[in-house]
Amino acid sequence: MYKLYCRIYQSIFKVGMNFLPWRMPKTLEGPGSVKELPALIRKKHFKKVLIVTDKVLRELGLLDGMLEAMDEAGVEYAIYDGVQPNPTDVNVFEGLEIYHENKCRAIVAFGGGSAMDCAKAIGTMHVKKNKAIQQLQGTLKVLRKLPTIFAVPTTAGTGSETTIASVITIVATKHKASINDICLMPKYAVLDPELIAGLPPKVTAITGMDALCHAVEAYTNSTYNTKLENELAEKAVKLIYDNLYRSYCDGSDLEARNNMQDAAFYAGRAFTRGCVGYVHAVGHTLGGLYGTPHGLAMSVILPHVMRQFGSAAHERLARLAEVCGMEGANDAEKAEKFICWIEDLKEKMDIPVGLDVIQDKDVPQIIRWAMKEGNPLYPVPVIWKKKDFKKLIDTIRQ
Ligand SMILES: [Fe+2]
């Protein structure tokens, strides 16, 4: 009965999705492309913009090229650089105050997922002045036109530059509020590989695996996807297959870096409609309970979940194996090859097979939270109950 309820919910949700105004951010792309952003801002007639970023990026001088180009193009700007790794409601209102004080008209989100989430929330609170962030938690609660957001990602993984979500931590309660609405999707994304050339190999590895996870989960879900999401997920997987290890070995390989930026962008757009699955549902709980970095949790959990889905995922995983040029006698064999490739890649990049942080006392909580996030929304190949989550957690802990 429970599984039937989930499937009926998903069928109705799928119909509802057809009425939403899906789109995709326009991109500026290639080495040095961030310096073209000010001219684009100027062309769009925004006199002054708020740049949302964090202190580390600013001190590293990563913004310098863009700021010089802003001065040359005559684009005025104000900077909010207080974004924390898990952006808070305090960050959002600090940024919003600067936006208002300086009479800004658009927002440049410069950084990883945190800067982009914070920028989206600043834009949201600008148009929803009388609401608290908690009241906007959920799906389609904003329904307004936000100030234009130009996203400049400095990692290749989250895909936040093309997603509709913003996750903000409420300081008073430590609760993470997730706002999901198509109006939060940035209008433009700048994919400049020079900005990520300096990422350490470990960060390259786990953020890249996060992108892989978005593509694989969206593709194996299949229910909500249109042809576009399926194609984007396939393209992302092939790009990651060809470029993640390459950029891990040589961070200055700008071609590989740019390809990984494309992969993260495509995968982000694929899961924005196709949804993620149980890898994210379980991974989020580990981030909340133990501070496990998101990409690390994703890398560890991904192959275990795909293998536990069994034959229900074989057909889709086999298609991904084919996209990467893997061969096999049948779908089951190809799917297994694909999962083995993920495991081999992890090993080569020094990512562990399991995690030893999970404590016995927390297991019921992890299962409850993961089920709450995943069911009934995520159209995964097999609907899991408590015992299935328990089995996965036992596998991860080994
Ligand atoms: Fe993710």
Q: How far does the centroid of ligand 1 lie from the alpha carbon of residue 108, in Å? A: 22
Q: Which of 301, 87, 324 is nearest to 210 (CA)?
A: 301
Question: Which residues, 6+ apart, have CB-to-CB distance to 397 below 8 Å?
Answer: 354, 355, 356, 358
Per-residue model confidence as pLDDT tens digits over 215-227? 999 999 989 999 9
What's the 69 CA to ligand 1 centre distance in angstroms? 32
Span from the CA of 45 to the centroid of ligand 1 (angstroms): 34
CATH of 33-191, one of 1.20.20.10, 3.40.50.360, 3.40.50.1970, 3.30.1490.100: 3.40.50.1970
Domain ranges of the chain: 2-14+199-397, 33-191
Distance 288 CA to ligand 1 centre (A): 14
Residue 101 backbone dihedrals phi, psi, to 5 degrees:
-55, -40
The pLDDT, as a whole number, for residue 289 is 86
Return the pLDDT at 322. 98
What is the 10 CA–ligand 1 centroid distance (Å)?
21
Residues of the chain with pLDDT under 70: none
pLDDT of amino acid 349: 98
Q: Biggest alpha carbon distance in the chain?
A: 65
- Residue type at 285 in one-letter notation: T
CATH 3.40.50.1000 fits 2-14+199-397, yes or no: no
User: How far, in Å, is the centroid of ligand 1 from the Cα of 373?
Assistant: 14
Of 85, 110, 83, nearest to 294 (Cα)? Answer: 85
Alpha helix segments (H runs only) across the chain: 2-17, 37-43, 55-60, 64-73, 89-101, 113-127, 201-221, 227-249, 254-274, 278-290, 294-309, 314-323, 331-348, 363-374, 386-397
DSSP 147: P
Determine the distance separating the centroid of ligand 1 and the alpha carbon of 96, expressed in angstroms.
26
- CA 77 to centroid of ligand 1, rounded, Å: 31
Q: Which residues contact 301 (CB under 8 A, 6 or more apart)?
A: 279, 282, 283, 392, 396
Report how far ligand 1's centroid is from the alpha carbon of 159 (Å): 8
Instruction: Give percent of the chain with pLDDT exceeding 90.
Output: 91
Q: Residue 104 Cα, ligand 1 centroid: separation in angstroms?
A: 31
* pLDDT of the residue at 177: 85
